[in-house]
Every structure is written in C-alpha cells, then in structure tokens.
Structure 1
Amino acid sequence: MESDLPDLITITQLRQIAGPTPQPYRIQVQVDNRNEKLTSGGSPFFEIKLADGGDSLLWRLFDSNPIFDEARSLTRGSFVEITAQWVDTGKYGIEPRHPRLRPLTEEEKGTLLGGDPDLLARQRIDYADIERFVAAIRDPRLRGVSSLFLEKHGERFRRTAAARENHHARRGGLVEHVAQMMRSALAIASTYPTLNQDLLVAGVLFHDCGKLWENSYPESSFAMPYHLHGEMLGHITLGLELMNKLWRDLLERPEATAWATLEPANEHVRLHLLHLIASHHGEYQYGSPVLPKTPEALVLHHVDNIDAKMEMFRRGYENSRELAPGIFERFRPWPVNVVAPLSSVPPASPATE
C-alpha cells in the first residue's frame, strides 16, 4: 500500500536529517553518472552520482550488495526512486542500506524535473528582483543591453548553474548568485556614492554570462553536460563575445540614434562593461586576463567572491559532519574545518530597557 511507504524527501532534506542511525526514506533522482571502479583489493564497485533539482549525492555501491547487478541499469540520464534505510556513515557519507530501486513513471519524471517547490519559489523571487534592478538602471545603454540579454537568453539563464561544483551548483543557481550580488552591490553603492551604480548592476548581470554555455542544464535533465565552447574558451571569453554581440544588436535599434551625443560616449561605456567581465576573477592565476582597474571592477570582484564563499559556508553548515560541538568537517574546496557562527544578541525588550 502506498500509505505504508516511507516519506518521499529531497536530497537536501536527506542531508539535513541523515545520521548514524538508519532511517527509512524514499528519494526520486536522476542518475548524473555511473562509473565502475576497482577497490585496492581489485573488487569492482560503482560510483553513482544522483541528482535532483537542488542537490546531488555520490553513492558508492560495492559488489557485495545484492542489487549490484541490478544497478548496471542505472545509466546516465535514467530516473529512479530509491527506497532504503539511509545512514550517514561518516567515511563514505550518506548511503542507502537495503536499497530498492524503481524506475520513475513519466508523470513522476515531469514532477521531478519541475524542481523543488521551495527552491523554485526563491528563484522566482530572485529573477523578479533581477528584472527590477535592471529596469531601474538610468543609463539607457546599460539598461538596454541588460534588458536585451534577459529577453534573448532569460530562459537559458534560469537553468544555468553558477558553478559545476563549488557554489550554487544547481539548476538556477546563477540566478540566485546574480540576484544576491546585485543586492550586495547596491548596498555598497549606497555607502560609496561615487561608484557608478548603473555600471555595477550591469556588470553583475554580465560577469558570468558566459556560463550559459559552460554550466547550463538541458530542459529535461539534472545532469550538466560538458560544452565544447565552454571547455575551449571558458566563460570569461564567452562573456566578452556575448556582450559585444548584444551591444552591436542594441546599437542597430532605432532608439540608439539618440545616444550618439550622450556622455560618456557609447564606446567608453562598452569598454568599462567589458572590463568588469574580464577582470572579475581578480587575479591572473584565477583566469582573469586583466586585473581590476576601476572601483566598480574591484567592488564586483569582491562581491562575487563574498557571495560564493557565503554559499560555501551555508552548504558546509548544512551538509558537513559535525566533528565536535560547533566544529564542522572541511569540505572541498574549503581549506579548513568551519566553525559555527556566533549568534547575535537578541534585541532588548522595552521592559528590559
């Protein structure tokens, strides 16, 4: 009977509740990859990467498991439900004990591909904020090229990750990253009024736009493919090329004739925006062909870095094993164990004051 089945949860929820005591749950996932490897003793085992709309999980399945032969059917892209007693082993992370596999129905696939409702709701808010921040840009050139990007590539933008692994590594993760960076950049701009706020907002929007051809997901999959353009050129180079293409398209529109006499000149604006894309990694060894040479470029680099690191902290607190009270095991690529943050003192009540 369906009512007797364990609760159906997401991978993110599983990470939050899995512990040393096995607990029964179901997860519905897509197989991102399945690699057959050998142990040090020469025995075969599978490394199976499972993914849903918000997270992924690596499952090591050894040949002693009764379903080892059945797991050969778990090819890249297949959809499956896993019912098991889930346990956090520490050494190998979360794994299913006594797992049972079932392929998903077409209806279940559609529901899974629709994504986690809570995550989708947050991403819808983020995208609406991006549209609002773009609409508020006063420079007609920067507002125009930003709007043109959303108009032409908004759908692909919505299903692109900010990274393949390190931060916001999920469908729509780039939208989350860009929206939060815009909020941070605007807060900084309110403190330093000499900053060009319009340029900063546009720079945030475009800084990772090349990732639409490096870290995008297909419409019907959580398995991020590798793209030849992304591998051979990288997202900074692709971003510069896309920016130039959009700028040329923008200047061909009828309204662009009124911008010929604007100051700063069109070409000057374009160069500053290109510089933000080119320099946002901040250092040569991290892939930037040029170092930040303007205040806006410097702010963009640090806002990008801060938001990425804050997401790494969030993921670490959520997913890492607690070694001791308030001390969490290091996670890739973070170089050290992380420590729980200091709680804020609650505001005093009127009576206390």
Structure 2
Amino acid sequence: MEKKLFEYTNDETFEIYLLIKSADIRVAKNGKKFIAFTFQDKSGQMDGKYWDAPEGDIAAFTAGKVVKVSGKRELYQGNPQIKLFKISVIKSGDSDNPDLYVERAPLKKEDMMEEINDTLFEITNANMNRIVRYLLNQYQKSFFQHPAAKRFHHAFTGGLAFHTVSMLRIAKTLADQYEEINKPLLYSGVILHDLGKIVELSGAIATEYTLEGNLLGHIVIVDEEITKACMALKIDEKNEDVLLLKHMVLAHHGQLEYGSPVRPKLREAEILFMIDNLDATITMLNSTLSRTEPGLFTERIFGLDNRSFYKPNESEKANEN
C-alpha cells in the first residue's frame, strides 16, 4: 500500500500523487517567479516551493489539480515541508479525482445532520428557532460539505458541520452543568456563528477566500443573512431575540483584534467565544499530535502562536490499555 504524505519521515524521499491545495505565484529576491505550493492528501497538508518556475509550469500546476510529486520531506523552522525534486502532470489512466486526496470529517454527513436537527427541538425560542431553521434549510447542502477554515482547523470536507456538532456537544455539557445558561440562545449561536464561511470560502478542494470573504468576512455575512431571514419570516429585526442572536455572531471571536466588531456582552456570547476557541485549539493539537512520534515535539502550530507541543511516551502506553 502506498504511503501517505505524513507517513514519510524527515529526510526520506518519495514519489507520490498529491492534490495541489493552493499554488501562489510569488517573486524571489532575484526577481524570478516561484510557486509556493500547499500539497495535500488524506494525511494532511504540506508546503513546498518550486523555484524559478517557467511560465508554462505556472499555468499548468494550478490549485485543484492532482500531480505526481518527487521530493524529500525536510524541516524548515520547525515545520515539515517538501523539498521539491520534480513535479509532473499525471499520466492517462491514473486517478486524477481530487476527492481521493481530500480529508473528510470523521462523522458521516447523515449523522451530523441528525444531531443538528435534534438540537433544533431544544431551541424553544420561537424567533430564534425560525431563523436558524430558515438559514439551515437555505444553505443545507453547502453547510455539510464546506470546510471551517482554509488551513488550520477543520480544514476538510464537512469540517464546518463537524466543528458545529463538536461545539454543540461542549455547549450541552456546559448547559447541564450551569442551569442558568440560556440554551436556545447558546445553541442558536453555535449553529449560526460560522455559517458565513459557506460564502467566505470557495469549498473543500483548493480552498480560497472568495471576493465576499476577503471584503466582508464571515461575521458580517452571517449578520446580513440573519437580517434577510427576518425579512423573509416577517420578524422585527429590532426584536430583542434577534439582537441577542446577532450579538452572539458578531462577538464570537471575542476580541476586536481577532475580527469581532464588538466584544461579548452576554454570558452566552462569552461562552460561545470560549467554546469556539477550545474546539479549534483541541482540533489543531489532535491533528498535529497524530503525526508526531511519542517522545518528540510536534511541528510548530501557527494557529497556537507558533508553539511546539510534546507528545509523551506514556500516551502510547495509555492507548494500549
């Protein structure tokens, strides 16, 4: 069986098929163009650079294509990368289906749909329930296919829905522990907080930010979608239920410097911010630790202040018990 990208060790050479996740054209100090690639298979993503790339190859090797890559895994500033020897278009007869190289959510689409639909019955606030149902029905197909990010957390097919389900599970545990929490508000906020990524991101294969994503961002997009839902459902946008729900979305990044136009001013908004951050953090850690041998430090994790984390030897023994 052919090894996957992250199954190769440092300084090991390989020749495998990979999906071009992204291909950014840049100019080196010598004035010549190079391609900054991000390659991917089901084991994860890894960067590699094609120096002095001719115009023909720049046109040929674009995001979303499957290519044959010859190279070596090496470390650069604590992160794994590919030292590229050769890249070529795959031969006729070889599989060029990008879906075969894309990571997927660990839960089935049907199971995630059922879990989210069951939660809707716990949203007992009529206005919030109607808004959430309206938007989920409108964007259902994309919601269960889209990634939750371009690169760092839940950046795989179904990642947005899986991130939402994971956050709902945490939210329900907290709501059981702290009875004062407004469950309908918290659950509505969890389901809608990242819905705008359906518009912000292009999709799971060759994920890029759309024009709307770059100019508006997913927080503003969701806020606008709630407004549209209110108009369609004939709900007064100035109703307190709507204002509370909008605040949940607008404040879910927690800090102004992280992109939220307002900091949390509701108990449930503060909880949503913490749950979102917790789930993203654990997912980044789990993904990186899964590719790390016991007794070693992980690669640097950009989303966690470029820190490396140690994987104890005991973790391997614990899994055996």
TM-score normalised by the shorter chain: which range applies?
0.7 to 0.9
The alpha-carbon distance between structure 1 residues 60 and 147, as it changes in their structure 2 partners (threshold 3 A), is: same
Is the CA contact 1:123–1:176 (under 8 Å) kept in the aligned structure 2? no
Aligned match of 1:308 = 280
Structure 2 distance, partners of 1:57, 1:186, is: 35
The alpha-carbon distance between structure 1 residues 272 and 49, as it changes in their structure 2 partners (threshold 3 A), is: same
Is the CA contact 2:50–2:84 (under 8 Å) kept in the aligned structure 1? no
The alpha-carbon distance between structure 1 residues 165 and 282, as it changes in their structure 2 partners (threshold 3 A), is: same
Structure 2 distance, partners of 1:53, 1:42, is: 35
The alpha-carbon distance between structure 1 residues 181 and 27, as it changes in their structure 2 partners (threshold 3 A), is: same
Which structure 1 segments of 5+ residues have no match? 1-6, 253-259
Is the CA contact 1:276–1:300 (under 8 Å) kept in the aligned structure 2? yes
The alpha-carbon distance between structure 1 residues 247 and 123, as it changes in their structure 2 partners (threshold 3 A), is: farther
- TM-score relative to the length of structure 2: 0.82
Is the CA contact 1:127–1:179 (under 8 Å) kept in the aligned structure 2? no
The alpha-carbon distance between structure 1 residues 278 and 87, as it changes in their structure 2 partners (threshold 3 A), is: same
- Per-residue displacement from partner, 1:283-339 (whole Å, max 9, x unpaired)? 22222222212211111110001011111212321356x6x9232232213222212
- Percent identity, aligned pairs only, is 23
Aligned match of 1:57 = 46
Question: What is the number of equivalent residue pairs in this alignment?
Answer: 315
Q: Give the secondary-structure state (helix, strand or coil) at the position aligned to 1:59.
A: strand
Is the CA contact 2:20–2:37 (under 8 Å) kept in the aligned structure 1? no
Deviation at 1:35, TM superposition (A): 2.2
Aligned match of 1:48 = 37
Matching of residue 32 in structure 1 with residue 33 in structure 2: no
Is the CA contact 2:148–2:163 (under 8 Å) kept in the aligned structure 1? yes
Alignment of structure 1 residues 237-276 onto 2, 5 Å:
237-251=220-234, 267-276=239-248
Matching of residue 194 in structure 1 with residue 199 in structure 2: no
Q: Give the secondary-structure state (helix, strand or coil) at the position aligned to 1:95.
A: strand
Name the Cα RMSD after superposition: 3.6
Alignment of structure 1 residues 1-353 onto 2, 5 Å:
7-8=1-2, 13-15=4-6, 17-20=7-10, 22=12, 24=14, 26-30=16-20, 32-35=22-25, 37-38=27-28, 45-51=34-40, 55-62=44-51, 71-72=57-58, 74-77=60-63, 79-82=65-68, 84=70, 87-91=72-76, 93-95=80-82, 99=86, 101-103=88-90, 108-109=95-96, 111-113=97-99, 116=102, 119=104, 122-124=107-109, 125-217=111-203, 222-251=205-234, 267-319=239-291, 325-335=295-305, 336-340=307-311, 343=315
Q: Give the secondary-structure state (helix, strand or coil) at the position aligned to 1:90.
A: strand
Structure 2 distance, partners of 1:20, 1:346, is: 26
Structure 1 distance, partners of 2:86, 2:232, is: 54
Structure 2 distance, partners of 1:197, 1:305, is: 19
Amino acid at match of 2:272: L
Q: Give the secondary-structure state (helix, strand or coil) at the position aligned to 1:57.
A: strand
Structure 2 distance, partners of 1:145, 1:103, is: 47
Is the CA contact 2:39–2:47 (under 8 Å) kept in the aligned structure 1? yes
Is the CA contact 1:210–1:238 (under 8 Å) kept in the aligned structure 2? yes
Deviation at 1:235, TM superposition (A): 1.6
Structure 2 distance, partners of 1:239, 1:284, is: 17
Which structure 2 segments of 5+ residues have no match? none
